[in-house]
Structure 1
Amino acid sequence: MTNFGYTLSSEEFAPNDLVDYAREAEERGYDFVSISDHYHPWVSEQGHAPFVWSTLGGVATATEEIDVVVGVSCPIVRIHPAILAQATATTARMLGDRFVWGVGTGENLNEHILGDHWPPHRVRLEMLEEAVEVVRKLWDGGQTSHYGEHYTVENARLFTRPEETPPIAVSAYGERAATAAADFGDGFWCVGPQEEPLRAFEENGGEGPKFAQMTVCYAEDEDEAVETTYEQWPNSFVPGELASILPTPTHFEQASQAVSKEDVREADSVVTDPDPETHIESVQQFVDAGYDHVYVHQIGDDQESFFEFYENEVWPSFDFD
């Protein structure tokens, strides 16, 4: 069975708006919402980047049944894992078994702000595994000390702990990270219907929920959707490792200058065609690839048209209550 979700785009909306959209997603029958964890938006046009753990407090009180997942945090540089252990424990206590925490090796865009060195991916993956170990130790309770290669914790204890330990889904886009995700994760996270990393995760014994985000910009006129994407979400077209090393929104804006509107129109990474069949086929690609949690990100201010379009034209083709 596939669970369908909705993206709470922290880069595009103020915190109270995100809370309102979470409530609306629940009312419309979505299985889960996924919220991003950023210090900066990718480009200034997006306009926002509220502190996710404050926003989640609002989401927890505004909703009753919908699952809430963070997709994803980088718990290795900007915030020490001992602090994130407390943040996630509090969030899990508020949401109960509705909470899933997604983690990944992050982007320099968000993590460089304290002046720390931005390590290569291999080192960041080692740091991620140790960070998850620290968090789980603290979730378990009791006074905890940890003297590792990357992190030190002394005499820390969480007094407010989750009643149920939340799963930690690990983000991966390549075989090495997917293999690591299988080793220490409780689930898998990706963007796009990528089959190879998911296969590596499963072949190496990975289990748990498998999340993937589908990015769209729905408008009645495709030219409008292309224009909105071009202005507000050009970061989708920044290639390869560049996205993980650029340090500021200005750098992303500079890198995006090579992107044309025709690139946006022809790209597979963002659906701009208003034909329902195109959206249905795109969702089906995720399902066929093996993802059991598919969530959709609508670019731009017009979230209501997206909700109506998917409710009337797309979700009836799937097992969506």
Structure 2
Amino acid sequence: MTRFGYTLMTEQAGPKDLVRYAVSAEQAGFDFEVSSDHYFPWLASQGHSPYAWSVLGAVAQATDRVELMTYVTCPTIRYHPAVVAQKAATMQLLADGRFTLGLGSGENLNEHVVGQRWPTVARRHEMLREAIQIIRELWTGELVDWKGEYFEVDSARIWDLPELPVPIAAAVSGERSVQTFAPLADHAVAVQPNKDLVDSWHEARRATGLPGDVRVIGQIPICWDPDRDTAIERAHDQFRWFAGGWAVNSDLPTTAGFEGATQFVRPADVAESIPCGPDLGAIVDAVSKYWEAGFTDIALIQVGGDAQDIFFKEAAEPLLEQLRAASK
């Protein structure tokens, strides 16, 4: 059964509003909630970027049922993996077992702020692999010393560990990342409805003797609004960066860079890639590509920080009803 989630988009709302939206999403019936973990918004017009882990801690206390997840945290540059291991364990305690740690190789936009150079994608994958190994070691509760190729850990121990281990979901985009992370992570994160990628993930896990049929978690932006033109205008203003694709988006270092890279993206271009307006059927059609590709979990991004309340009031529940009916 496909599960549907709501995205706490830290780039488009402040921390208190995000907690309020999390409560509304649970009340509307979403199965899970994911949070971006960024230092910058993609575009200045989005206007926000609070610290995701503080928001998630508050959300854990304000909600009772929905599962929570980072989508995704980079544990290699801005954060040291030993710190990520500690805060993920704390989140699992606060969330009473509802938390999944989503990890990825990061974007220059967020990681450059600590003044380190931006590695190649191959190097970033190697760093992420070592980071996951360190996090797993620390979750044993033992004293850990580590001197690896990229990280050192000196006599570290996590003192508050949850009884239910924290699942790790790793972001994958191609065969190399699948082969690297399938043996290390519990679940997969992917941003394109690529059936070959999903099948490759399951096959790689089975080849190592691990369970093959695990969660594959995707995400898709939508821009619901009673007026289609308003939705297109909002999506173009705040989400035209999405058209660049991750090969470009992961390397641009600043919001000004995204402004420049997307200056010729037209509203019509955005409307072709993001379902905009009141037509719930069009949203269902766009989302269906993910469950048809084998995704088990699909998180929706409702574009626009000022458009969340009307989305919950008028569209969220009927949309979920249609999505669940269509995905059976």
Which TM-score band applies after superposition, normalised by the shorter structure?
over 0.9
Counterpart among 290, 295, 311 of residue 291 in structure 1: 295
Shift of 1:277: 1.6
Q: Does 242-251 or 197-206 show the bigger shift?
A: 197-206
Aligned residues: 318
Counterpart among 294, 302, 315 of residue 309 in structure 1: 315
Match of 2:28 in 1: 28
User: TM-score, normalised to structure 1's length?
Assistant: 0.95
Shift of 1:316: 3.5
SS at match of 1:12: coil
Match of 1:153 in 2: 153
Pairs within 5 Å for 1:152-231: 152-205=152-205, 206-231=212-237
- What one-letter code is carried by the residue in structure 2 that aligns with 1:233? F
- What one-letter code is carried by the residue in structure 2 that aligns with 1:161? L
Counterpart among 227, 235, 244 of residue 238 in structure 1: 244
Match of 2:264 in 1: 258
Shift of 1:92: 0.9
Counterpart among 262, 276, 281 of residue 277 in structure 1: 281
Cα distance in 1 for residues equivalent to 2:272 and 2:18 = 30
Cα distance in 1 for residues equivalent to 2:11 and 2:44 = 9
Contact 2:284 2:322 in 1 (8 A): no
Pairs within 5 Å for 1:56-95: 56-95=56-95
SS at match of 2:199: helix
Match of 1:249 in 2: 255
Q: Does 275-284 or 255-264 show the bigger shift?
A: 275-284
Contact 2:125 2:177 in 1 (8 A): yes
Gaps of at least 5 residues in structure 1 are none
Cα distance in 2 for residues equivalent to 1:207 and 1:116 = 38
Shift of 1:238: 1.7
User: TM-score, normalised to structure 2's length?
Assistant: 0.93
Q: Decide whether aligned partners of structure 1 residues 317 and 127 sit closer, same or farther in structure 2, where only a CA change above 3 A counts.
A: closer
Cα distance in 2 for residues equivalent to 1:15 and 1:207 = 35
Cα distance in 2 for residues equivalent to 1:88 and 1:240 = 25
- What one-letter code is carried by the residue in structure 2 that aligns with 1:229? A
* 1:270-300 C-alpha deviation (Å, 9 max, x unpaired): 1114322211212222111111111110001
Q: Decide whether aligned partners of structure 1 residues 158 and 262 sit closer, same or farther in structure 2, where only a CA change above 3 A counts.
A: same
Cα distance in 2 for residues equivalent to 1:314 and 1:88 = 29
Contact 1:186 1:207 in 2 (8 A): no
Regions of 4+ moved over 6 Å: none
Contact 1:187 1:207 in 2 (8 A): no
Cα distance in 1 for residues equivalent to 2:251 and 2:202 = 28
Cα distance in 1 for residues equivalent to 2:154 and 2:251 = 32
Contact 2:173 2:197 in 1 (8 A): yes
Q: Does 144-153 or 236-245 show the bigger shift?
A: 236-245
Shift of 1:217: 0.5
SS at match of 1:73: coil
Gaps of at least 5 residues in structure 2 are 206-211
Match of 1:135 in 2: 135
* 1:130-151 C-alpha deviation (Å, 9 max, x unpaired): 0011111111102111111110
SS at match of 1:165: coil
Contact 1:175 1:196 in 2 (8 A): no
Q: Decide whether aligned partners of structure 1 residues 317 and 18 sit closer, same or farther in structure 2, where only a CA change above 3 A counts.
A: closer
Cα distance in 1 for residues equivalent to 2:309 and 2:106 = 30
Q: Percentage identity across aligned positions?
A: 39
Cα distance in 1 for residues equivalent to 2:323 and 2:275 = 17
Shift of 1:183: 1.9
Cα distance in 2 for residues equivalent to 1:221 and 1:196 = 36
Shift of 1:97: 1.8
Cα distance in 1 for residues equivalent to 2:291 and 2:245 = 25
Shift of 1:207: 4.6
Shift of 1:194: 2.4
Contact 2:29 2:320 in 1 (8 A): no
Cα distance in 2 for residues equivalent to 1:130 and 1:43 = 32
